[in-house]
Amino acid sequence: METPTIPMPKDERERQILDKLMAIRDSLLLLKRDRTKYIRTQDVMLLYDKLVEQVKQLNEVRKGEHKGENRLDKVLESCFQLISLFFMTIGRTTEVPAAYALTSTIKRLLDHLTEASLFSPKDLTSISNTLGRLEGILNNADAHHSPYLVELLANREALCKSMLCNLRKQLDQLDEPLQAIYERLISIMRSMSLANTKSKFSMTEVQKFQSKLKDIDETMVGGKFVGPDGAELRGSEVVSDLLSRCLQWSDIVLKRKGIIPEPFMDKYSILISIRNDLEKLSITQAWSLRETDLYDFQRQLDRIDEARMDGNWLDADGRPAELYVQRTLLYLIRRSYGYIYYLMNSSEPVSEALLPVYNQLQTLKRCLIEVKNSGGVGSVRELYPYSMKLNSIDNMRVDGKFMVGNDIPEGQGNVTELLAECFDINYELRVAAEELEEAEKVAPTPQPIVS
């Protein structure tokens, strides 16, 4: 994330702070790479407190004045990004530091949505909901957290809200019937881009999407989208332009068949690998994700994204990538940022040390609810497997706490609450089963019919 082109700080005091920040970052990276044990809250908080102390000193040195970005700012950004992901990993997802990485990703997503001018109402709704949640975290920030960090995040959140507002205005310019068509076109465009980046290109798949586009094209009257009264709908030109872009993209994709020119093959291979890895994590994240792993994906994506000149990449001879390559690479970057956003948003308020127990209880709860919704059980005996599993988890507690060695990991309340919910559902099912068995006992035995 930092490059030789970024200058070193000129102030000797800033250089001393930079040295200490680099030591903190190195410690965070070492802690991130250690897979032999769970990440402990006390280890994270020790490094966080050291980071906050350096931020205080930096504020005293700069006294509100900042004369251009230097290497210190980049290292500080890396430290905040890492510490943010560590807070997610230890389950402190509702505290200010955990919000830093999420705001970085939201800003990236909004930058790309603004640049491409391709987004759906669902994209904006999701980001709006997340920003609302982050605002609540900032409003409830306690004195332990750095005022600098709180202010930084508040400014980021305000900027993201402003960008979101501008994007909403674009959609508000469309009449309601056109908003549905617009969203459908966005979906088709993304589906074609996905088909274009699959390991095996399918002409038939893309042709089906192209056929859907032509069906939409045929609903136009005189090159315009009109209402039942024959009047042109507001925003017709915008949607018509998007339709043209989609049709053009379908022709290009069918012509190129997923083949990327050699000069850009390295970037493409890296982005495909990142996209595929993040896609797998999005499916198995409850069992396999350590949030700090997202740092490496973000660094790679940021480097490739920031290597663009005037929005495009250049080959070794300084020639810009053609439209097909540019759009393909941008799709992969945006898709990957989208996965990172989803994974961060899905982070559970439970330490990774307790996640195995938490995930088992989540699965048990889903199973018990499914049993309940399908009519319950015929006998108490059918509940034995669930009861035994719940009791075995309950017996893991020491003085009411789930311990890992001598540590009490974060998220005790969430795991205990989930365990209690499972016991409650199990109890309801048992009572219903017992009542059913009693009813069958007292029911009169049918008498044989005597002819």
Per-residue pLDDT of the chain (451 residues; tens, 9 = 90+): 444 468 888 889 999 999 999 999 999 999 999 988 899 999 999 999 999 999 999 988 888 676 778 899 999 999 999 999 999 999 999 999 999 999 999 999 999 999 998 899 999 999 999 999 999 999 888 777 888 889 889 999 999 999 999 999 999 999 999 999 999 999 999 999 999 999 999 999 999 999 999 999 999 999 999 999 989 999 999 999 999 999 999 999 999 999 999 999 999 999 999 999 999 999 887 677 889 999 999 999 999 999 999 999 999 999 999 999 999 999 999 999 999 999 999 998 999 999 999 999 999 999 999 999 999 998 999 999 999 999 999 999 999 999 988 889 999 999 999 999 999 999 999 999 998 888 877 766 666 665 4
Q: What distances in angstroms separate CA 166 from CA 117, 172, 301, one per listed residue?
A: 11, 10, 25
Question: How far, in whole angstroms, is CA 121 from its chain's centroid?
Answer: 17
Q: Which residues of 366-395 are buried (b: 16+ CB within 10 A; e: fewer)?
A: eebeebeeeebbeebeebeebbebbeebee
Taking alpha carbons only, the member of 418, 421, 426 closest to residue 376 is 426
What lies within 8 Å, CB to CB, of 42 at 6+ separation is 407
pTM above 0.75, yes or no: yes
Could you give the maximum distance between any two Cα atoms of the chain, in Å? 111
Q: What distances in angstroms separate CA 357 from CA 93, 354, 386, 407, one per listed residue?
A: 18, 6, 14, 15
Q: Which residues of 58-68 are buried (b: 16+ CB within 10 A; e: fewer)?
A: beebeeeeeee
pLDDT value of position 395: 96
What lies within 8 Å, CB to CB, of 329 at 6+ separation is 264, 267, 268, 271, 304, 313, 321
pLDDT value of position 364: 96
**Tokens 């750095």 -> residue:** 146
- End-to-end CA gap in the chain: 93
CA–CA dist 6, 33 (Å, integer): 27
Taking alpha carbons only, the member of 52, 61, 50 closest to residue 15 is 61
